[in-house]
Structure 1
Amino acid sequence: MSVAAQPAPPELTPPPSAGRDAGPVGIVAGGGAFPAAVAEAVRAQGRDVLFGLMTGFADPALERYPHFWFRIGSLGSATAKFRAGGVKDLVMVGTLTRPRVRDLGFDWTMLRLLPRIAALFRGGDNHLLSGVLGLVEQQGFRMRGAHEVAPGLLLPEGVLGAHAPNAGDQHDIAKGLSLIAALGDFDVGQAVIVVDGFVVAVEAAEGTDEMLARYGAMRASGRLRFAKGHGVLVKAPKPGQDRRVDLPSLGPRTVARAAEAGLAGIAFEAGGAIVPDAEHLVADADAAGLFVVGIKPQVAVS
């Protein structure tokens, strides 16, 4: 077994508006707590927000902000409303399950783009989401990442709470990061579970929470016989991933599921994961006896 250096992911090219941002930020909102966290971070910088709330996904509580509702397939009407609101910078954030093409509710703009949209569905999530960003940019917007308009949501390097990984945990973390890097070309999940050097679960279409539940069920049934307090959930962006969308995220539910699964802790790529409330997450991890640690993307195990 050897430890080899792994190059850091390429840095994002600053958007044309960097250093001279102005006007409201448009937020295309899926589910979960992240859209509100991004909005509050943007407002704290003195900029207004305008939400485009995706029907069937966004939290109705977001109606407290300036907003409109739209169906996923209504690209033309949604972009027209953002444009009328003075939006030039647009962010996509929040959970979203892959829709079926026939459920999108196309408007005329999307119908004209239908052949291109159909092609986007023939690939993984990064292929789909990056393609959608390209379509939106062609409508005259600057697509920004949540980490660009709300950098305070990024988790930093180092141990974040009262508990720290031991040598065995560190080996599991390195192996997990190496595996995510190796799987990048296949455009699958952003998370794995490694226990005592064994890869026991890889995130696929079910998402991180369901992967954790699957591992916990295997432990509970005796299919896997690892002791409680062993193993690490590792999350990191896929190599080559467009970080403007689908950046790995952590929240209180991730901590709760990791604790239920009997893991020792959670590791993430420093600067490569966002959290809506880091203080809450760390407090929950401390109470559950889990470590939370940010790792520079520089080690891999082969």
Structure 2
Amino acid sequence: MAADSAAPTAAPAPAGPVAIVAGAGRLPLLIAAALERAGRSCRVLAIRGFADPATRRRADATVDLLDVRGALDTLCAWAPAGVTLAGAVARPSPAALLNTLAAYRNRDALRSLASGGDDHLLRGVLALLEEHGLQVLGVRDLAPGLMAPAGRLGTLGPDEPAEASVEAGRALLASLSPHDVGQAAVVAGRRVLAVEGPEGTDRMLARARSLARRPLGLGRPPAGMVLVKRAKDGQDLRVDLPAIGPRTVRRAAEAGCIGIAVGAGDTLVLDRPETVSLADRLGLFLLGLTPDPEPAR
């Protein structure tokens, strides 16, 4: 009787390593290092043709991007406590998706998956992993120290024109969220110079530079020009988080920006000490934006 009336015990923490599916860039190794510092084991599944050489050397296994069966078999054999997707990969063609995933979904579902935007595709990938009993974890779960904090990151802060640009950029990105457009924009006052599309932040900044410095790219950029970057409203923050790093700071400065504002808690800051130091040297502010307030009911 005593045993029957005892309070239930908490479920034990999941056993097994964290599996990192690694694309391009330094993020997979940064997550691995954070996990190791926290005393958690991890295994790295590198995507051939995308994972950096250092990641491939660290990897426990390597698969082709479209080898869905091989990736799932490897992950399931590892029996991980969770899986995280880290690093950039190029989106495969719809035809390639249809051919490689047909064993796992019917063709109507595949056609919908292939024809949607990036968010739609990522939701399909998450569902596929979860169908195979794999729990998907985000960087915020595994390495929260990589996320942007709220407030000023460096020594500089925005002036009044820059604050107006930041607010305009924040409102713009919020309004675009339902349309699965990019996660960044360059704004000067109320003038939108560029919105990120499939080309990514670096190319968007190059486009903004050409628009802001007319004629012949030699003019002065408009006052208060800033880069604003944040996750889409309702975005699944386990995957495809917006990110900045030293290269972003350098490209923003070249474009004529005087600062960068990112979503606090939903944007990665890669190599933070170097990123902040470079921004200070180049005269850019770095600002973590608190989430938009919930609308009144």
The equivalences for 1:67-146 within 5 A come to 67-103=60-96, 110-113=102-105, 115=107, 116-146=109-139
| One of 27, 31, 45 as aligned partner of 1:38 | 31
**Hey, what's the Cα distance between the residues in 2 that align with 1:105 and 1:125?**
16
The structural deviation recorded for 1:230 is 3.3
Unaligned runs of 5+ in 2: 1-9
1:268 aligns with 2:282: no
The equivalences for 1:155-174 within 5 A come to 155-174=148-167
- SS of residue in 1 equivalent to 2:50: coil
The structural deviation recorded for 1:226 is 5.0
**Hey, what's the Cα distance between the residues in 2 that align with 1:156 and 1:271?**
6
Provide the residue aligned with 1:281 in structure 2.
Answer: 275
Amino acid at match of 2:281: A
**Hey, what's the Cα distance between the residues in 2 that align with 1:149 and 1:298?**
24
| One of 284, 288, 292 as aligned partner of 1:294 | 288
Q: Which has the larger radius of gyration?
A: 2
The structural deviation recorded for 1:143 is 0.5
| Contact persistence 1:23–1:47 (CA under 8 A) | no
| One of 232, 257, 265 as aligned partner of 1:238 | 232
Counting matched residue pairs gives: 283
**Hey, what's the Cα distance between the residues in 1 that align with 2:196 and 2:12?**
37
Unaligned runs of 5+ in 1: 1-16
Q: Deviations over 1:253-287 (max 9, x none)?
A: 10010011011000011111012211111001011
Amino acid at match of 1:52: L
1:55 aligns with 2:66: no
Amino acid at match of 1:91: T
Q: Relative to structure 2, which stretch is displaced further, 257-266 or 268-277?
A: 268-277
Which TM-score applies when normalising by structure 1? 0.87
Q: Relative to structure 2, which stretch is displaced further, 124-133 or 71-80?
A: 71-80
Distance 1:110 1:153, change over 3 A: farther
**Hey, what's the Cα distance between the residues in 2 that align with 1:223 and 1:25?**
51
Runs of at least 4 residues off by over 6 Å: none
- SS of residue in 2 equivalent to 1:143: coil
Query: What is the root-mean-square deviation in Å for CA atoms of aligned residues?
Result: 2.3
**Hey, what's the Cα distance between the residues in 1 that align with 2:200 and 2:184?**
8
Distance 1:66 1:55, change over 3 A: closer
Structure of greater relative contact order (alpha carbons < 8 Å, 6+ residues apart): 1
Amino acid at match of 2:275: L
